Chain A
């Protein structure tokens, strides 16, 4: 690449600190532009301008600062924001944290080159998320429904099978009726090789790989690369969604590693820390990632970022989407199960004998709920199956206890009424 007139070059680096380079007295640098860094050993790295003043320019280096010296390293300013080459052929491929192939395959032939930062969607242009995404898992479909155009965080602790869950969602997710146009952008930040190979094997085994774009930054890859990874993934997702009309589900794991990379940069810049050492702008920064999910009016299909609680659940359920009694049933399950769990604590102290008959039924319900509804292993359950299990469970409780469910729905869907109706219909 020959330098155009617009390219400015600087032959001396003044300071190197952690992931940051400090360059003095360069003219005309713009905030956020991309720089190429040529190392004495011939290697080329990429960086981004974080802070400019007429004295010093601060650059974060995505590939890390190892082997960068402050004598021979050259820095070239491109004058452009960070871009990523995208193409439909990205499906089925594996990339590193800044969008270069890491599966040994050839470079992709770009259809477009996109600014990874994206722009804020005008709230007025947004459309209401409405369609239900079936994940095939009762605990999600029934209770925390995933809706197109929304984001859903999965909180986890060490040792919990969050990865298994994420992989299962990636594998099973579908919009009812539009299954084949569905793609998944999987963005892994700072995960271990073991976890990464679990995802790879799982996708290969189930054949899901061909509809997945994989961005992978492993735990031993440079930390700062992670700051760009989710944005690259979202730029690719936006391209697939808005240019190729695919429904895209973006899975970002694990955001904590992203935030730690932010903290690392912030500390290297000696910024004033906010809560727990994270920089004060972390909230805004995360929002620029999550808020890229959404539907745009007249522009379909949307993007879902999946990083348990469903705020938009009410929009994606109900008549015509899932079933009219969905909201009532979900509320009733939650309420009854919560009561059952309280009783368990009580039983531990006073024993089951001290309970009333009704409370004993609640206890039984809570156990059955966990065994039949929540734990399901690798089974892919349709929504109808989910809600029919839910009704069978609710039928364990007296009808008068089902206060969250409208009387009409009880008449229509309660197993006791259905059984009562069924022979009648045969007779007629």
Chain B
């Protein structure tokens, strides 16, 4: 056992002397309370340790014990619907042990040791198995939790049987005596192995019009949501966590407000997944490291989260990971780096910030999983970024931009006029459009791309026209251009805006999304045709059917189709004013 003594304490960082033989990222226990920390630098016989718990009251000379294992998470049945802190301590169990406030030095295993799970074998004695092969399943809520051979293990099964098992009990034994238990551990800073990465060809359907039809993200892709404060990042993240069409959602509250985690905690058990009709909590894992919890655990929390996501990916599931927010994570890096007295880069962030960010986002992806059945799974990462003062030129926003595939820029001025989700349609982009095009053409409509491009064209044209309006006033525009302004106003108000709090509109099925956009574009085409034969825009906008299109969010698809036909007739019936 490697031990040493505390020789300096400065906030969340301490020095341990005489701890010869330690490795980088080994977990250590400090003092009588066995506070947990992680070695982040070695200098001769001295190690620099970042502490996952508050260091107040620690003394010089207290004992430091190296566990000689890296920070790892427990993976197995019992993860789903749990809420953990940044180092996988279940907060419900902590609540049981220490009450309303989190006290220090409590150690609780991540998975419940006593609960029994009904194990059903999927392999038999004599089968040859390798890493990633499924030996059996247990039912966890409605999810088939596949028990896989952990990475690095292979052999022939000697014994396997159906039984009610605890997570630490062996589900099967190999001929060389290796036991495969329901759970295994994996170091969080190392990505789990897979066979090959695949291109992103499937979109992540979120039920949000601006995300699904205009700026889609692929399954296994990465997206970022930057926005100044108050633009609705957290609401967007939560909306995505609620409605994404994945089997598992990992939600990381990284350095954000405690009250927001409470929101997720109280809301998710009540909300129902529109696809499976089951409570949303039954597919969600939550990691909460609120801003007042120790800073080093905040740094670890996103790794803890993505390792769990990868574990479910390896079972062959689609997983969505929401990190709110990566800025707070970057600030944790900066804080620790500052305590280490490292040479600062831009704005005090360490020079390795971009490396760490890209290493994290690269763990997303759609892969062929390890195992002989070649199943596929994906991890999609959506990271919120909170640039101070809404300034997108700051290092975390800029470095994240270089990595991610979809950029949903939240805009303060849109939020100010209560346009939600406040995604700025000019600044945002998606690099997955071509990749997912085939899927949309097959499953939505062969018109999708044309419709989307037409919409974007109109919205961009609007920006140009607005500049002219600023100079000469709206009345001076020709009728054809007035029609464009009318159409874009409809796109903005009747299509892009979507209230996360509305009962009928917070989730919008893909088919309805398509028909809503179609109705607006058809109205515009009708309008511009009418203008060409001398009708005034004023006459068209006065039609009652336009107001009905404005209330489309509360209507169903059949009604919208009816409206398209009606609008077409009414506009055609208009006569030129004398």
Report A399 CB to chain B, min CB distance, Å.
9
Cβ-defined contact, A122 with B9, below 8 A = no
Closest-by-CB residue of A relative to B62 is A30
| Bound-state Cα–Cα, A275 to B331, Å | 11
Q: At the interface, yes or no: B471 with Cβ under 8 Å from chain A?
A: yes
Chain A residue, CB-CB nearest to B7: A54
Q: B494 to chain A: which residues have CB within 8 Å?
A: 403
- Cβ of A294: which chain B residues have Cβ within 8 Å of it? 258-259, 262
State the CA gap A178–B230 with chains docked (Å): 30
- B205-260 contacts to A, CB under 8 A, are 229-230, 234, 253, 255, 257-260
**CB of B91 closer than 8 Å to a CB of A:** yes
> Would you call B61 and A125 a contact (CB within 8 A)?
no
From residue 119 to 175 of chain A, which have CB atoms closer than 8 A to chain B? 119-129, 149-150
Min CB gap B353→A, angstroms: 12
B337 is contacted by which of A280, A349, A407 (Cβ under 8 Å)? A280
Determine the distance from Cα of A284 to Cα of B13 in the docked complex, in whole angstroms.
14
A31 and B58 contacting across the interface, CB-CB below 8 Å: yes
Contact B262 A31 (CB under 8 A): no
Is B261 close to A, CB under 8 A?
Answer: yes
Which chain A residue lies CB-closest to B31?
A30
CB–CB A31/B338 < 8 A: no
**Closest residue of chain A to B348, judged by CB?**
A274
A81–B56 CB distance below 8 A: yes
Convert A210-253 into 0s and 1s, putting 1 for each residue whose CB lies closer than 8 angstroms to a CB of B.
00000000000000000000000000000000000000000000
Q: CA–CA, A182 to B404, complex, Å?
A: 49
Residues in A neighbouring B331, C-beta threshold 8 A = 280, 283-284
Q: Name the B residues within 8 Å of A359 (CB-CB).
A: 474
Q: Are A355 and B94 in contact (CB under 8 A)?
A: no
* Chain A residues whose C-beta falls within 8 Å of the C-beta of B67 in the assembled complex: none
CB-based contact A31/B9 at 8 Å: yes
Binds B, one of A66-74, A106-114, A330-338: A330-338
Q: Which of B100-108, B159-167, B307-315, B570-578 contacts its partner?
A: B100-108
Q: How far is the CA of A339 from the CA of B474 in the complex (A)?
A: 14
- Residue pair B258, A52 in contact (C-beta under 8 Å): no
* B261: chain A residues within 8 A (beta carbon): 123, 126
A412 neighbours in B (Cβ, 8 Å) = none
Complex Cα–Cα for A292 and B547 (A):
48
Known: A53-B15, A338-B417. A32 touches B56 (CB 8 A): yes
Residues facing B in A50-79 (CB within 8 A) are: 50-54
Does A379 count as interface, using CB distance less than 8 angstroms?
Answer: no
CA of A356 to CA of B11, assembled, Å: 62
For A51, the chain B residues whose CB sits under 8 A away are: 8-10
Taking a contact as CB atoms under 8 Å apart, the answer to whether A272 and B418 are in contact is no
Contacts A125-B100, A280-B334; A312 near B56 (Cβ below 8 A): no
| Minimum distance in angstroms from A246 CB to a CB of chain B | 18
A353 to B476, CA, bound (A): 11
Cβ < 8 Å to B, chain A residues 270-304 = 271-275, 279-281, 283-284, 287-288, 290-294, 296-297, 299
- Which of B101, B230, B338 is the one whose CB lies under 8 Å from A122? B101
Query: Within 8 Å CB of A32, what residues of B?
Result: 55-57
Which residues B103-161 have CB closer than 8 A to chain A?
Answer: 103
Cβ contact of B291, chosen from A283, A299, A311, A353, cutoff 8 A: A283
Question: Considering residues A51, A311, A334, which has the most beta carbons from chain B within 10 angstroms of its beta carbon?
Answer: A311
Contact B60 A33 (CB under 8 A): no
Contact present for B255 and A123 (CB under 8 Å): no
What residues of chain A lie closer than 8 Å to B388, measured between beta carbons? 275
Alpha-carbon separation in the docked complex, A122 to B290 (Å) = 9
Does A119 lie within 8 Å of B60, measured CB to CB? no
Q: Are A407 and B94 in contact, with the CB atoms below 8 A?
A: no
Q: Which of A271, A284, A309 has most B Cβ within 10 Å?
A: A284
Determine whether A27 belongs to the interface, using a CB cutoff of 8 Å to chain B: yes
Q: Given A274-B347, A279-B338, do A120 and B101 touch, yes or no (CB 8 Å)?
A: yes
Q: In the complex the two chains form, is A27's CB within 8 Å of B60's CB?
A: yes
Q: A122 contacts B262, CB within 8 Å?
A: no
Interface residues on B, range: 35 or more
Roughly how many angstroms separate A309 CA and B235 CA in the complex, as a whole number? 14
**Docked-complex contact A125 and B335, CB < 8 angstroms:** no
| A404 CA to B262 CA, complexed, in Å | 28
Contact of B257 among A27, A291, A354 (CB under 8 A): A291
In the assembled complex, B181 has its CB within 8 A of some CB on chain A: no
Which residue of chain B lies nearest to A407 when distances are taken between CB atoms in the complex?
B551
Closest to B57 in A: A30
Q: How far is the CB of B419 from chain A (nearest CB, A)?
A: 8
B83, A287: Cβ atoms closer than 8 Å: no
CB of A117 within 8 A of chain B?
Answer: yes
Which partner residue on chain B sits nearest A327 by CB separation? B501
B544-578 vs A, CB cutoff 8 Å, 1 = contact: the mask equals 00010011000000000000000000000000000
Whether A123 pairs with B258 at a CB distance below 8 angstroms is yes
The residue on A at minimum CB distance from B419 is A335
Contact, CB under 8 Å: B348 / A354: no
- Tell me if A422 is interfacial: C-beta within 8 Å of chain B: no
A40 at the interface (CB under 8 A from B): no
Residues of the A chain whose Cβ atoms lie less than 8 Å from the Cβ of B332: 284
Task: Tell me whether B263 is interfacial, beta carbon within 8 Å.
Answer: yes
Verify if B176 is at the interface (C-beta below 8 Å from A). Answer: no
A149-B259, A274-B344, A281-B338 are known contacts; what are 4 more A-B pairs with Cβ within 8 Å?
A: A32-B57, A274-B348, A290-B291, A355-B473
What is the interface of chain A, defined by CB distance below 8 A to chain B? 27-33, 50-54, 81, 117-129, 149-150, 271-275, 279-281, 283-284, 287-288, 290-294, 296-297, 299, 309, 311-312, 314-315, 327, 331, 334-335, 338-339, 345-346, 349-351, 353-356, 359, 400, 403-404, 407
Interface residues of chain B, those whose CB is within 8 Å of chain A, are 7-11, 15, 55-61, 83, 91-92, 94-95, 98-103, 229-230, 234, 253, 255, 257-263, 265-266, 288, 290-293, 295, 328, 331-332, 334-335, 337-339, 341-342, 344, 347-348, 388, 416-419, 469-476, 493-494, 501, 547, 550-551
The contact sample of 27 A-B pairs, CB cut-off 8 A, is A30-B56, A31-B59, A51-B9, A54-B60, A119-B102, A121-B101, A123-B262, A124-B83, A124-B288, A128-B262, A129-B259, A272-B341, A273-B348, A274-B348, A283-B291, A284-B291, A284-B292, A284-B331, A287-B291, A299-B100, A311-B234, A311-B259, A350-B471, A350-B473, A354-B475, A355-B474, A403-B494
